[in-house]
Amino acid sequence: MSRAPATMRLRVDGQPVEVVAGSSVAAAIAHAGGTTRDACGGGRRAPLCGMGACFECRATVDGRAQQRTCLLPATEGMEVSTRG
């Protein structure tokens, strides 16, 4: 009998999101249907490389701006803001 994977809850732009334990913050943002930041031209951006080199995944996490979310493990109760 297989077990369901453990999950955790965090908030992305004020909305609750449930993800599998061990997921990155970038994965949680994607699961929520979001993107990570505004481009200079006004469009929304999203993670590109998935290894922290492109910096497209930056967001504010628990009040700390410019965090590379593809490198950051999601934790229970985390607050993520992709705006500002």
> Which CATH number covers residue 50?
3.10.20.30
pLDDT band with cut points at 50, 70 and 90 for residue 76: very high
Given a cut of 90, whether residue 1 has pLDDT beyond it is no
In a domain, residue 1? The reply is no
- As a whole number, mean pLDDT of residues 9-26 equals 96
Q: For the chain, how many helices (H) and strands (E)?
A: 1, 7
pLDDT of the residue at 84:
64
pLDDT of the residue at 29:
94
In a domain, residue 23? The reply is yes
In a domain, residue 71? The reply is yes
pLDDT tens for residues 23-70? 999 999 999 988 887 778 888 888 888 888 989 899 999 999 999 999
Contact by Cβ (8 Å): 35, 29: yes
- Overall number of domains in the chain: 1
Q: Which domain holds residue 22?
A: 7-81
pTM: 0.86
Phi/psi for 79 (5° steps) reads: -110, 125
